[in-house]
Chain A
Amino acid sequence: MAGSPKEAMVLVVDVGPLMAQAPPGHVTPLENAKDAISMLLQRKMFSQSKDEVALILLGTQETANELAGTDDESYLNITVARPLGQPDFDLLEFVKNDIVPGPVSADFVDAIVVALDLVRNQTMGKKFETKRIVLFSNLAGEFTDDQLEGVINGMKALECEFNLIGLSLDDDDENGDMPDQNGAGPPRKERTPQQRAGAALIRHVIVEVDGVAYSESEALQMLSFFQKRNVRAAPWKVMLEVGTNLKIPVRGFIRVKECKPNSFKKVHARTLSKDDIHTTHEHRLNDDEETPVESTIDGYRYGNTIVPFSTDDESQMKFKTDAKCFDVLGFTRADNVKRQYYMGDSVRCFVAEEGDEPAAVALSAFIHALYETNMVAIVRYVYNKNSAPKVAFLSPHIKPNYECLLCIMLPFMEDMRKYTFSSLHPNNKNQPSGTILLILQDKIRSPHPPMTPHQNVICISHELQCVSDDQLSAVDDLIDNMNLVMPDKDEDGKQQQYLKPKLTFNPHLQRLYQCLSARALNPDDPQLPPPNQTILNYLQPHQDLLTQAQPCVDKIKAAFPLEVVTKKKEETTAQNIFGGGDDAEPAAKKPRLDADAGGDGGLTMAGLAQGPVTEVGSVRPLEDFRAMIGRKDDDKFMEASAQLQKRIEEIVMESFGDQFYGKAMECLQALRKESAKLGEPDQFNTFLRGFKETLFNKGRKDFWDRMVREKVTLISSEESSETSVSKEEAGKFLEMAEQKTEEPEEMEEAEAEDLLAMM
């Protein structure tokens, strides 16, 4: 199978003394080159490219290359620091730490010859789409040009591309040097005659082999983002069928799909090894008897009945499809497929089977016919035998260099959420308020009386729907002044836009790569690097637009009365109650704690009859905890308290209102007492700090209030000599005002969505 196209790149870096010179306060050309190379290597690594990189230094004290020694004069002070291979952090570290200014100036033409030789030898037998030599030099050193034609012919023969980074060749010597337009680089010095001669030579090479030269600042700018990941395009080959008689062989490729960060693997903090850690799953019946995995069976709920459904049952009874399928069901007007119907996580792009010209013509006929009639095709999509069938639509996409059908999935009836929203229409006299409308509508739809309005419709008073002309014109001004389409056009006559998706990188991935790189090079630095300013900038509206639009914003502020509503306590509680994940897809739901299980404590005969308690269960956590720490044969305190901590959190979070707060408080107080008594205050204190945060974040401030009332705080040194927490600190812990609650409250999370995304 063909891999993705890869490149062999030889970086030739001039480390001679002339690269280490810079006007005071400016970075030397060598440092700039090192930065550019570092970025380049990181881009290659994080884009998961298969490209291979070699590194050659010229101007080193030593000489280490295969050509040296053939005669005594040539190829001196040139070091092959690294043969061709995939870039890694070792190479990056070498670039950062071990590329230092060398003592002598070496001949860059010689270095190119060495590079060419390396390309020739080390790419043999491997498949590289492109080969490239990149010279980082300001061309200030001496050179000989007797091998020039050999270099050019060699590049041509090897189909090797050539770039120079470090000296712009655009400026004409005769006009003198122009100041750097970007203003980013150091002010340019007058070029030396040596540099001009070098530039002339390289220009000759570049013209001959069709190469490109960049100034340092150009290169740095181009490299300042982490490159997007390379994904190998794997075609899905299928027949596009219309009826029984028309088959068009096509290939589909993913055109758009969210690029998610790689997943992290859990390791043991002490050894950083995956092998020292593993995850266990235990299955227990309510009486805490463990069920071996092989004795478990899957089931589904049918109301309050649980129906066992073995894997065999499931595979036997499940809906089956015969084979992959891409059949047209019919055609429909493009506006019948609304934007909000788009399903799935990707856009595929279908073209005719490679090399099949009749298929290409047939597909082209349909692409143009759909385009000209403003229609789309609705198709049945089955990826493979026994995959779930889907419905998708195909829309024509015509570009100067190619044409294709874009394919996006569509929803099933079950996927549609038909919610009712109240009217925003000010003049609709028949619907004085959304509530009545809803009742009427519901009456028609359902044999049952409607639900009370507050739960399924947001009532909008009539007054709020009326908007004056002044208010509309204030909004108009904002639209005029926050235009993301720039007035000027680019070279192709296209209107330039801010925030083009094609040019906007995912800030999370950029940040992740930045942190990965920083941590890889400095594993002991506990701080994450600050986010890259370039990224932070493009996450804010463009400064020019903001300045320009500020008067409009002020005008809107004046025209529209807006007032922050002081939060009512009830609302918070209601949120907690009704936001308890009812809408979450059941797949993501965890079994709830048995609501009846709480409250009653005390030892029971059943408890006594059981063997030693090994785990703090959810039914009688406190008893389990006491039993565990009371065991004479084994010190289970850490384990038991960790489990009880978890239970306390669960009880509070799952509590219906404050129903189980009493139970949680009882556990918490007991945990605190035992922790102090048994000399393990720090574990408790750590827990309590985190717990406090959790309570605020998860909207359980009412439990915190109870903790304050009951004075459940950190264990201080007065109570246990094992801790350094002072009494004052413990007292303050409860006082600390929490600002987070002032913010608009965190709403119900789309937890199901996220979980599904993770799976």
Chain B
Amino acid sequence: MAAAPQWSYERAWGDDEEEGEQEEAQPRWSSLRDSLIFLIDCSASMFQEEGEEDSAFHKCVKCVHSAMRNKIISNDRDLVGVVFFATNKHKNQSDFKHVYIFQDLDVPGAQMILELEEIFEEDGVERFEEEFGHSTDFSMSEVLWNCSNMFSTCTQKLGHKRLLLFTNNDDPHAGNINLQRQAKTKAKDLEGLGINTELLHMNKPGGEPFDITKFYQDIIVIPEDEDVTCLPDPAAKFEELLERVRYKEHKKRTLARVPLSLGEGLEFGVGIYTQVRETYKGRKVKLDARTNQEVRTITKTVDSETGKFLMPSDIKKVQTWGGRDIAFENDEIVEMKVFDKPGLVLMGFKPRTSLKPYFHIRPAQFLFPDESVISGSTRLFSALLQRCLARDVVPICRYIPRKNSPPKFVALLPQKEEFDDNNMQSTPAGFHVVFLPFADDLRKLNFEDTPRAKQDQVDKAKEIINKLKFKYDPMSFENPVIQQHYRNLEALALDRDAPEEVYDFTQPDKERIDRRAGPLIDEFKDIVFPEGYTPGAKPKRKTAAATAAEQVTEADIKRMAQAGTLGKLTVPVLKEFCKQAGVKVSGNKKQDVIDAITEHFQIE
């Protein structure tokens, strides 16, 4: 897929170039680890092609294909199945007619993807006729029953059970009250079993709109306050399903649930969450190259002499300092980290401005009230948050995230809850847990004094900055390394000739920058850089040896040569002396240099 940069420069005031506003980050398919059955209507009308467009069935399979590939990357432990109904043949445990389990619930993999792709092949439609056929004699009740069976007979424990029903027929059991009633009853059963049925309706051949009130409003789950009669355009949903997603979904999970103590005997509960964390490629596994089967890796600590397996008590751990190996038991090393029980302890408050931008040693975490251990926590949390925001202060806390972890100091940066135009929450209320560095973490740097810019130079820089303004949003930047990895993996797994191309969103569009700010940059260079200045060309500097050698006088060298202690000096220092005193050295060894110097002073 060709991709354009996902962000663009803002229109500076008086700017004549037309630049689109940055698009909202696309809503993504979000789900937990769950199970999902794609249920596809295979009646003949699904196969009708209209002009250039794909048939409805073809669209469905494409959709499933794309969704499945997404699933492999985003939630690789979720289970997926594909069921055809309104087929002529059947394949299922209960021998229901016209219900064909194409792929039973399983973790998707290359095999499933390739099977779906076969349906796209040129003679796919003909082969489909042959293998599955069409029929209209199915019973929706049995179709649903079959899916329910698939969920219940699955050996894995399932979290969420979903059914995604693709059809273009809004009234499958027209005129047959009995079948309709059975289907509705069965749908209720499924709901009772916690199976969510959702409809992906498609327009009927001829473009007639899909009328949900005819049948499906009693089959699918519809949120109470949604207008049932007016369904959203199916195209949007399809678009979303077809969109390629290549990043892992993360399940929301507390990192820790700990008490926050405000003082003697005053604690309330908070949950700590990760908001941002570097994503790595998936886990590498070791395979036996001969069979490509996964191997188990067993790591053992053994006695070098006897080769015997060592127990933890046979092992100590050392660090070497001041010339000594200092040994500890593992338990002792753990003990050194223990200062107190896990939790947050309020140390006091500081103005928000005291939280310097360079107080950063790791990404922040997020704090939200937790009622599960101490009830009433939310109210106190909320009061604290409101007052911290109003007073513009940050609580400073001592934070021990879990047992056996050493304490850190953190600043709790309050965040106000915000709502968007639709009155939807856009920013949650809570505190960001900003980790403060210790003295040990702050490095001292010394810089020489350098000249500073004059106001006209600063003003020119401001003009450049103004031309190159954009609204930064982390959602605009995909990680090209991860994206390349996923594409490679996909290409190898599905036996493609080459991986899909990756667009590197981190690359600056230099051409555009030049176009927008080129003349200003030239003006800036004119007033900042002297004539003939080449960035990066610098005068040769004195070597360290030359500096050191300066400190050693000729008299010192002579005295040391007499005392025979020249060996104390380093080779560069000695060589530097030779260079300055014009002493010729034959050979490269230190002794050669020393010999030459000794000879120079004519000492024997």
Contacts and interface: CB of A to CB of B under 8 A. Distances in A.
A281 B513 CA distance: 53
Contact of A743 (B278, B341, B350, B443): B341
A539 to B, nearest CB: 6
Contacts of A46: 321
B513 A516 contact: no
Given A269-B314, A412-B478, A550 B198 contact: no
Interface string B148-188: 00000000010110101000000000000000000000000
A458 B371 contact: yes
A68 interface: no
B384 A455 contact: no
B424 A340 contact: no
Interface string A349-391: 1011111111111101111111011010110100000001111
Interface stretch (A163-171, A323-331, A700-708): A323-331
A418 B265 CA distance: 35
Contacts of A758: none
B554 to A, nearest CB: 13
B27 A445 contact: yes
B349 A299 contact: no
B305 interface: yes
Contacts of B570: 125
A182 interface: no
A467 interface: yes
B301 A378 contact: no
Interface in B323-377: 323-328, 332-333, 335-337, 339-342, 345-351, 354, 357-364, 366, 368-377
Given A424-B417, A484-B396, A748-B255, A361 B437 contact: no
B31 A451 contact: yes
A531 B423 contact: no
B310 A277 contact: yes
Nearest to B29: A446
Contact of A419 (B259, B275, B314): B275
B453 A307 contact: no
B506 A479 contact: no
B326 A283 contact: no
A165 B566 CA distance: 36
Interface stretch (A207-215, A504-512, A725-733): A504-512
B452 to A, nearest CB: 5
A564 B267 CA distance: 10
Contacts of B30: 418, 442, 445-446
Interface in A525-576: 528, 531, 536, 539-542, 545-546, 549-550, 552-553, 556-557, 560-565, 567, 571
Given A245-B514, A361-B528, A389-B506, A308 B289 contact: yes
A735 B284 CA distance: 45
Interface stretch (A8-16, A105-113, A137-145, A468-476): A468-476
Interface string B510-526: 11011001100110110
Given A301-B76, A417-B274, A440-B424, A331 B468 contact: yes
Which of B269, B291, B417, B439 has the largest count of A CB atoms less than 10 A from its CB? Answer: B439
Interface string A277-299: 11111111110000100011111
A642 B311 contact: yes
A267 B317 CA distance: 6
A588 B277 CA distance: 14
B213 interface: no
A206 interface: no
Contacts of B198: 447-449
Contacts of A126: 548
Which of A358, A443, A745 has the largest count of B CB atoms less than 10 A from its CB? Answer: A358
Given A278-B304, A365-B458, A586 B283 contact: yes
Interface residues of B, number: 263
Nearest to B568: A125
Interface in B551-576: 551-552, 556, 560, 568-570, 573
A267 B376 contact: no
Interface in B431-459: 432, 434, 436-443, 445, 447-453, 457-459
A587 B280 contact: yes
A413 B373 contact: no
Interface string B477-499: 11111111100111011000001
B439 A296 contact: no
A194 interface: no
Contact of A749 (B402, B438, B569): B402
B303 A268 contact: yes
Interface residues of A, number: 256
Contacts of A439: 223
Interface stretch (B84-92, B134-142, B406-414, B588-596): B406-414
Interface string A425-468: 11010110000010111111111110110011010100011110
A346 interface: yes
Interface of A is mostly: mixed
Contacts of A301: 76, 282-283, 285
A361 B387 contact: no
A106 B302 CA distance: 58
A281 B319 contact: no
B291 A285 contact: yes
A302 B281 CA distance: 12
Given A411-B474, A472-B383, A501-B438, A395 B357 contact: yes
Contacts of A421: 368, 425, 428-430
A378 to B, nearest CB: 6
A283 B289 CA distance: 12
Interface string A157-183: 000000000000000000000000000
B567 to A, nearest CB: 10
A548 B296 CA distance: 60
A744 interface: yes
Contacts of B259: 744
A571 B71 CA distance: 29
Given A395-B357, A419-B273, A553 B266 contact: yes
Contacts of B506: 329, 380, 389-391
A327 B303 CA distance: 53
Given A89-B321, A124-B556, A389-B480, A403 B452 contact: yes
Interface stretch (B53-61, B106-114, B116-124): B106-114
A259 B375 contact: no
A435 to B, nearest CB: 11
A503 B458 CA distance: 35
B321 A336 contact: no
Interface string A609-626: 000000100000000000
Contacts of A753: 277
B438 A505 contact: yes
Given A277-B303, A307-B492, A747-B255, A268 B315 contact: yes
B82 interface: no
B23 interface: no
Nearest to B450: A360
A267 B327 contact: yes
Which of B257, B347, B407, B507 has the largest count of A CB atoms less than 10 A from its CB? Answer: B347
A646 B67 CA distance: 41
A253 B358 CA distance: 13
A471 B380 CA distance: 8
B244 interface: no
A245 B447 contact: no
A70 interface: no
Given A560-B380, A564-B373, A511 B72 contact: no
Contacts of B18: none
A403 B349 CA distance: 29
8 contacts: A125-B548, A330-B469, A370-B465, A373-B465, A413-B475, A424-B369, A440-B225, A484-B348
Given A308-B287, A448-B196, 19 more contacts: A125-B569, A244-B514, A257-B441, A276-B304, A281-B299, A283-B286, A285-B291, A303-B110, A306-B293, A346-B360, A361-B451, A368-B452, A410-B477, A419-B252, A483-B350, A523-B326, A523-B327, A587-B282, A587-B283
